[in-house]
Amino acid sequence: MIWLFAGLVALALVWSYRGFLVEPWRIERSVLRLPVPNLPPGLIGKRILFLSDLHTQAWGYRELFVAEVLRRRPPDLVIVTGDLISSPVGVPVVLELFGPASPPMGIFFVRGNNEIEELPDPDAFAERLRGLGWTVLCNEHRVIDDPAGRFCIAGVDDPNNRRDDLAKALHGIPHGMFTLLLSHTPEPFLEAAGRGVELVLAGHTHGGQVRLPGIGALWTDTPRCGRRYSAGVYREGGATMVVHRGIGWSVLPLRLYCPPEVLELELVPPTSDESSPPGRGF
């Protein structure tokens, strides 16, 4: 019995060291080659930088990491799926961080629960982002008139606070037009798949923030879909979704078997051997 107790104590110490002192700072920068059906030519070969859940409060390692990625490998398109800040003090940092960024296809953003819950005036923050040239999507869409072919980027407002209205976001999109949907959480995915959306990008879950072998994510704060979509790539019918693990953390600076990530997407048409649904990307 004493050996079992000692083993559990040792495991707890190792997990505490790894979870608090190692993984929160071990940001993984990766490129995900993602086959997507019906992909328009205007998105093939583009570098899409996908960010989520930065949770900025001050300049630190995470913010400097993102700034360096933007500087050293400028993307064609930047997607941010909410929770840029953790409190109002993070607003000027975010504006300074992203101020120099001007990708040719723009920066598209949807609000997360932190933008809604932590800011005294969420709409004012959205306007400041628009002042940087960002496209802030609140249950709306934009048709992109790319010379290689038109497509649509849509976005729902924060599902965590029940502000999402997918029908409104998709209303008026020409029939058959490829649609990329942005959502802070993965909860609208099934409805989006049923409405013909081809690609969904989401965050919020932090990948669970703590994942245990054989169990996976302990908690994702997504009551409408449970832990079904914690992190990685998912398929439902003809729709694909990527759930970002996030860059920051919630409540405690803790990550275990779930490092933060900065993700570059490389969208490609599927080949015959890529027609079957993949498993989770993480």
3-state secondary structure of 143: strand
Flag residues of the chain having pLDDT under 50. Answer: 4-12, 275-282
Q: 32 forms bridges with which residues in the sheet?
A: 265
Q: What is the pLDDT at residue 3?
A: 54
Q: What is the largest CA-CA distance in the chain?
A: 70
CA distance 63 to 146: 31
pLDDT tens-digit series, residues 174-193: 999 999 999 999 999 999 99
Q: What is the pLDDT at residue 15?
A: 52
CA distance 120 to 166: 25
Q: What is the pLDDT at residue 12?
A: 47
CB neighbours (10 Å) of residue 128?
16
Q: What is the pLDDT at residue 147?
A: 80
Q: What is the pLDDT at residue 11?
A: 46
Tell me which of 3.60.21.10, 3.40.430.10, 2.40.280.10, 3.40.50.1100 is the CATH number of domain 2-274.
3.60.21.10
3-state secondary structure of 7: helix
Q: 202 forms bridges with which residues in the sheet?
A: 183, 243
pLDDT tens-digit series, residues 219-253: 999 999 999 999 999 999 999 999 999 999 988 89
Which tokens go with 221?
A: 């704060």
Q: Which residue type, as a one-letter code, is found at position 266?
A: E
Q: What is the pLDDT at residue 228?
A: 95
Number of H-type helices and E-type strands within the chain: 7, 14
